[in-house]
Amino acid sequence: MQTIAIVNRTNLKNFGSVLQVYALCEAIKRLGYHSEVVWQSGNMSKNQDIRPVKVIRTLLRLCTHPLLLWSTVKAIIEAKSQVIDELKEKKFNDFVAANFVQSFYDPEEITKMAATDKFYKFVCGSDQIWSSTTLYPDPMMYLRFSPKGKRVAYAPSLGRNYIPNYNKKILKKYISDVPCLSVREDEGRRLIKELTGRDALVVADPTLLLSSRDWDRLKIEIETPENYVLCYFLDAPSDDVKTNICKYASSSGRDIVVLGKLNNLNYPQNKIHFPVAGPGEFLHLISNASMVITDSYHGMLFAINYRKKFWSVERAYSQYDQSSRQLTVLSRIDLKDRYLKKDFNFTDANIDYVSVGTKIEDFVTVSMNYLKQSLE
């Protein structure tokens, strides 16, 4: 049986990042292949190109792009101030150890390995591995180490709604050299068409390729209230959002279970819960929630997969419009009204999951056909 290499990171302590890699591995197995995650060994400084000319160019790019400078500084400050929860980290590490086959290669070795028959194809994806505004695109994420005929892109995201001038030349080259091309968002398809003239197929995020029954096998049960709204926020929401969350929870008689950056809620403290969760616990919390309110793309997708009532809230963290990731999915299943940028009136309005389920199945069929054909 041939082995397919998935090129992505599993060391990020983010539910969606880890679970989408797992889902892609499983989807490839169901097509009759072995799957294995491949990444670079060593530390960041060892593997990065830090020639003086590139350092100077990086500084110039930051100085001439105020939004990029601000987002970079903000990310550094947040990373420095973040307290590492050792229990949460252990839960992620245990999940990765139990569910992935991984290989790590030195940068010098990986090109030699790729030229052998160890791996039949290399698949990059999914998530924001092709971020258009990154200071230096990572050649690893565009499979530059592998023979061109072995390269497959499954649902990479460019993350933004534009490509800055300093990245257009290199991204045009990198993307043009990936023969099997797909993307996760409609905006990504538009950007690639404008940049390269190529038509990229929009495919489903890997997490949608598995059913809720598949995800149930990974759930880890933890103690939760009987009736709760799960609030999962990657960035601290506005006071308006917090006020309306409390209003909704109070009117529906529900506790609030919090994951991520949500605090200072004006709600009885004995009805607010802050569980420590890894990927398995995250799945349990989604599957048992009465309502999900989230600014997370994957939080939204798992709510849909588990057929939950949900509201997707615009993230408050960025000057960049990144709504395409949510709206690409929601527009295909006729649920665009579940994405809120303002007027955060959270209600228990029902969702017709019979109709939604049919549309998801169609989207998944197109996506799996693309993956199957790309690996042949």
**Predicted model pTM:** 0.91
Answer whether 3-211+362-375 and 219-353 agree in fold.
yes
Residue 298 · residue 157 · CB < 8 Å: no
pLDDT at 214 over 80: yes
Q: Which residue in the block uniquely carries the two structure tokens 């799960």?
A: 230
Question: pLDDT tens-digit profile of 102-144?
Answer: 999 988 899 999 999 999 999 998 999 999 988 889 999 999 9
Choose among 219, 218, 244: nearest CA to 231: 244
Domain residue extents for the chain: 3-211+362-375, 219-353
Region 19-28: mean pLDDT is: 98
* pLDDT at 94 exceeding the cut of 50: yes
d(CA 201, CA 199): 7
CATH classification code of 219-353: 3.40.50.2000
Residue 36 tokens, joined: 């294995």
The CA R_g of the chain, rounded to the nearest whole Å, is: 21
Identify the three-state secondary structure at position 300.
helix
Give the span between the Cα atoms of 256 and 12, in whole angstroms: 26
Q: Number of C-alpha atoms within 13 angstroms, CB side, residue 315? A: 22
What confidence tier does 323 reach under pLDDT thresholds 50, 70, 90? confident
Q: Residues in the chain, how many? A: 376
Cβ burial, residue 210 (10 Å; 0-12/13-18/19+): buried
Strand partners, 6: 37, 123
Give the model's pLDDT for residue 46. Answer: 42
Does the structural domain 3-211+362-375 have CATH classification 3.40.50?
Answer: yes
Confidence (pLDDT) at 45? 37
SS3 content of the chain, % helix, strand, coil (to 5): 50, 15, 40
Long-range pairs for 189-198 at CB < 8 Å and ≥24 separation? 191/132, 191/158, 191/161, 191/162, 191/163, 192/158, 195/163, 195/168, 195/171, 196/172
Which of 18-22, 195-199, 262-266 is predicted with the least confidence, judged by mean pLDDT? 262-266
- Predicted confidence at residue 136, as pLDDT, reads 82
Lowest mean pLDDT among 29-43, 89-103, 257-271, 326-340: 29-43
Given a contact cutoff of 8 angstroms between Cβ atoms, the answer to whether 32 and 47 are in contact is no
User: Residue 107's pLDDT is what?
Assistant: 83
pLDDT(244) > 50 = yes
